[in-house]
Amino acid sequence: MAVVRLLALLFTVVYLLPLVLAAGLWIAGRHPASWRDADWTSARILPAAAGSPEAAALILSARTGGLKGAVSEHSWVVIKERNARRYERFDKVGWGSPIRRDGYAADGRWYSNEPRVVAALTGEAAEVAIPRIRAAIADYPFAARGGYRIFPGPNSNSFTAHVMRAVPEFGAVLPPAAVGRDFPVDGRLVHLGRDGFRASFFGYAGVALGTSAGLEINILGLVAGIDPFRWTIKIPALGSFSFAN
């Protein structure tokens, strides 16, 4: 019984309290009443595509809308070919085209929430990665209409995580609030790759250990962890907090 009480206490402190805090902060904030009222315009965090000849490959993420924004983010893929004068953006959404291409500005706000760059490759590294990114987008097994489920996935973050796994050079994982990122879109519940080990029980629970993720434990989409390589702790629903200079 002592072990059970200890596990219950750990679950409460590590998972439930951050969830309650995140929900309280979200409810106290100001958010658009619906998607019609939201701001979807460019946040202008990316340089003008025509201003640089370098290729670029980026992963962006922003809090989503409604009450689920308290615990979850939406992520997408952005690429720019060498000498291209525009970015291309790819999202998996639950409405419209199965995978939307250029449905929004490359760095557009999501439900009025400003995005941030999660991972980026530029120059020659991006040129090498872009063909693999395009191949991963084309090969996404849940691209057809109806291939979307908010929880545990496959959803928008499952799609982006699928692309990132195809390009380990990104050297990163999606934020802990990117619910659905751990859904095994390839059907493999256990994976061992050059960036480490991960296991997922169909997205409902899982664990990851490696150079990209550090140590993560996923319970019902809530991810807690520590990344000693980047001096970062990961708090469920709230996100990642770095202690590096």
pLDDT per position as a tens digit, 39-89: 999 999 999 999 989 999 999 999 999 899 999 999 999 999 999 999 999
Q: How many helices (H) and strands (E) does the chain have?
A: 4, 12
**Averaged pLDDT, 5-16:** 92
Residue 146's pLDDT is what? 85
Residue 179's pLDDT is what? 96
Contact of 177 with 116, CB cutoff 8 Å: no
Residue 4's pLDDT is what? 85
Residue among 80, 73, 90, 179 nearest 120 (CA): 80
Residue 101's pLDDT is what? 94
CA distance 245 to 231: 9
* Strands across the sheet containing 205-210: 190-193, 196-200, 205-210, 214-219, 222-227, 232-235, 239-242
Task: Assign 237 to helix, strand or coil.
Answer: coil
Residue 135's pLDDT is what? 98
Residue 205's pLDDT is what? 96
Q: Is 179 exposed, middle or buried (0-12, 13-18, 19+ CB in 10 A)?
A: buried
Buried b (16+ CB within 10 A) or exposed e, 185-208: beeeeebeeebbebbbeebebbbb
The structure tokens listed for 16 are 């439930």
Residue 2's pLDDT is what? 85
Residue 96's pLDDT is what? 66
Looking at the predicted structure, is the pLDDT value of residue 164 above 90? yes
Give residue-wise pLDDT tens across range 89-146: 999 998 767 899 999 999 999 999 999 999 999 999 999 999 999 999 999 999 988 8
Residue 202's pLDDT is what? 94
Average pLDDT, the chain: 94
Q: Which residues pair with 227 in a beta bridge?
A: 232
Contact of 145 with 98, CB cutoff 8 Å: yes
**Averaged pLDDT, 162-182:** 95
Contact of 137 with 77, CB cutoff 8 Å: yes
Task: Assign 115 to helix, strand or coil.
Answer: coil
**Averaged pLDDT, 203-217:** 95
Residue 1's pLDDT is what? 80
Alpha helices in the chain (DSSP H): 2-11, 17-28, 123-139, 156-166
CA 125 to chain centroid: 21
Residue 155's pLDDT is what? 96
**Averaged pLDDT, 17-28:** 94
Phi and psi at 231, nearest 5°, equal 50, 55
Side chain identity, residue 24: G
Q: Using omega within 30 degrees of 0 as the cis cutoff, is the peptide bond preceding 152 cis?
A: yes
Residue 245's pLDDT is what? 60
